[in-house]
Structure 1
Amino acid sequence: MPIELSPRKRGKLVGLVTAGLSHRKAASRFGVSKSAVWRTLRQENLHNTQNSLPRSGRPPMLGEREKRRLMREVMAHPGEPWLYFANIFGVSISTVRKFANSMGLFKRHKRKKPLLTPKAIAACKSWMKANIGQDWRRVIFTDESSIELGLDVLQRWTIRKAGEAYLPQHLQTTFRSSRRTLMVWGAVAYRKKWDLVRLPLDSKDLEPEGVAAGKRQPKGLNGKRYVRWIVNGPLKRCVQEHKRARWRDVLVLEDGAPCHSWSGTKAARAKHKIPSLTHPPSSPDLNPIENVWHLLKMKVSQEERRATNLDELRTQIQRCWKAIPIETINRLIDGMETRRAAVQQAKGGSTRF
């Protein structure tokens, strides 16, 4: 492709040739052919300009007015497919997509986040202001997590040719879900990762809790079970250990699950002198243990042999939990101020965490 001179260089070339420089020397100095020098001089004589002349060819499908209108439509309806805008403007999908891409707009997967009501947003703002200057290293972050038997959370990749998508070696196999899950409770703090506690919700011989004869035993983790299994034992020990380690004014962060906010749970925490740190609703991104749960599930999915029963799953979970480096947890906890600042920037809305 021939070199196209800028208007500035064209003007300089015209000036030198007019001053007596030969076409051959001008071509050599500017790195172009003699015919390019001749065309530049001809354009100057005929059109009195150093700018490129309008080129012939197909006119653009979208004029400037249509482009501005299309931009408004895309910004107003970001969830619509490209075909929606193509039908409005009577152009092809590729035309719409190319224009949007040139403006920095691309089709992306929507990020999944909990719905934040105005009340929840207000709570996030209050949490953000209340925790300015918070010493996050004294906080114990706790939560429960359910891991399903046979669940694979990894998005696996393969290298294949067209038409080979359904060959066995290119499939990510799934198994019929038995809906058997194992729920565990965990707690982490700076420089500390306590052992997981299995919550025996899958057991068939749960202790009766005042349920009338003939009625079904309540399922799930309710307040009474949480107090008996966690608050009166593991959580109390975690607070005592963290106090002995370094921090006297320990705080415990739990989410707003009903078993955590039950009046009996609050009474049990008060009895054991377990101070709580308020956590805004629908905000798992403000508890770093959620990141630890995700890392744990990824490690379980990477196990060479998939568990076939809950006992095997429990063994894998414990092994993968121990394999999580304490440095990873420290880094997550030291990043809490960044999360708080992100809430401030988002004005109480969702963050990238």
Structure 2
Amino acid sequence: MKERYEFARAHLSWTIDDWKKVIFSDETKVNRIGSDGLQWTWTNGDKLKVFQVQHIIKHGGGSLILWGCLTWYGVGYLSNIKGSVNSDFYIGILEDELMKTIDWYDLQNEDIVFQQDNASTHTAKKISKWLENNNITVLRWPPHSPDLNPIENLWSILKQRLLQYEKQPDGMLELWSRTENVWESITQNECQKLIESMPKRIKAVYNAKGGHTKY
């Protein structure tokens, strides 16, 4: 909680213009059956009640592990991770999906701030060196802070829309195709609204003295 509080206090003065520079990143799992392993009932923004979350059987379903990123200008390139992620694999994601995202939106490495969580793979010396060599500033991120990361809401949008298909995908290739299509359909406006929430997220964590928030 202390690190979250200190992070919030240090960024209270950040405006939306500051947060526009940040590329947020994260990983998630998408199951072929039930998307994220839960069957959701959507209630117009109201908090879900216990009875509205139904666990479903995932036996034999299969899943995708995704890495993605969120920018002010839209979603970034999406990576379908196969196998375990070590430092070399993660560098491959940075060299491919992250750099393609920066190029696609005609950004400059030195002008962006890169957000990643504190997984040991992300904070390895090899990764820090790669980011330094590529003139990419890293946003020091507090542990256990999914409520501060707007890409978590983006994953929710993705999974909600995947559940809107009438039929379950026949296999993993179809699931990946659907995932790509839904991801690419997410609009710039949706991305901007999420990033515009950052000052409120920061203030909420600060007011909670590092405790977790509704986000």
TM over 0.5: yes
**TM-score tier (shorter):** 0.7 to 0.9
Answering whether residue 200 of structure 2 is matched by residue 338 of structure 1, we say: yes
Contact 1:150-1:308 within 8 A present in 2 as well: no
Match of 1:237 among 77, 100, 103: 100
- AA of the residue aligned to 1:143: D
Match of 1:226 among 86, 90, 93: 90
CA distance in 2 between counterparts of 1:267 and 1:147 reads 31
- AA of the residue aligned to 2:27: E
Change (3 A) 1:147 1:351: same
Aligned to 2:40: 155
Answering whether residue 210 of structure 2 is matched by residue 348 of structure 1, we say: yes
CA distance in 1 between counterparts of 2:144 and 2:163 reads 27
Q: How many angstroms does 1:314 deviate by?
A: 0.1
Q: How many angstroms does 1:132 deviate by?
A: 2.7
Q: Residues 213-237 of structure 1: CA distance to partner in whole angstroms, max 9, x if unpaired?
A: xxxxxxx222221112x12222233
Match of 1:132 among 9, 12, 15: 12
Aligned to 2:3: 123
Aligned to 1:192: 74
SS at match of 2:5: helix
Higher percent of residues as strand: 2
Q: How many angstroms does 1:196 deviate by?
A: 1.3
CA distance in 1 between counterparts of 2:180 and 2:207 reads 38
- The size of the alignment, in residue pairs, is 199
Answering whether residue 60 of structure 2 is matched by residue 178 of structure 1, we say: yes
Contact 2:109-2:134 within 8 A present in 1 as well: no
SS at match of 1:351: coil
Change (3 A) 1:258 1:246: closer
- AA of the residue aligned to 1:298: Q
Answering whether residue 180 of structure 2 is matched by residue 295 of structure 1, we say: no
Aligned to 2:174: 312
CA distance in 1 between counterparts of 2:124 and 2:22 reads 21
Change (3 A) 1:200 1:343: same
1:1-353 equivalences in 2 (<5 Å): 121-134=1-14, 135-152=18-35, 153-156=38-41, 174-178=56-60, 180-201=62-83, 220-228=84-92, 230-242=93-105, 244-245=106-107, 249-353=111-215
Change (3 A) 1:176 1:296: closer
CA distance in 1 between counterparts of 2:187 and 2:134 reads 30
**TM-score under structure 2 length normalisation:** 0.84
CA distance in 2 between counterparts of 1:241 and 1:143 reads 19
Structure with max Cα Rg: 1
Change (3 A) 1:294 1:156: closer
Change (3 A) 1:248 1:131: same
- AA of the residue aligned to 2:64: L
- AA of the residue aligned to 2:98: L
Q: Residues 86-113 of structure 1: CA distance to partner in whole angstroms, max 9, x if unpaired?
A: xxxxxxxxxxxxxxxxxxxxxxxxxxxx
Aligned to 2:45: none
Q: Residues 164-222 of structure 1: CA distance to partner in whole angstroms, max 9, x if unpaired?
A: xxxxxxxx894452262211111111122123121222xxxxxxxxxxxxxxxxxx222
- AA of the residue aligned to 2:13: G
* Structure 1: gaps spanning 5 or more residues: 1-120, 158-171, 202-219
CA distance in 2 between counterparts of 1:194 and 1:133 reads 27
SS at match of 2:65: strand
Q: Residues 127-151 of structure 1: CA distance to partner in whole angstroms, max 9, x if unpaired?
A: 1122133210010011111111212
- AA of the residue aligned to 1:189: T
CA distance in 1 between counterparts of 2:55 and 2:96 reads 41
Bigger RCO of structures 1 and 2 (CA < 8 A, at least 6 apart) = 2
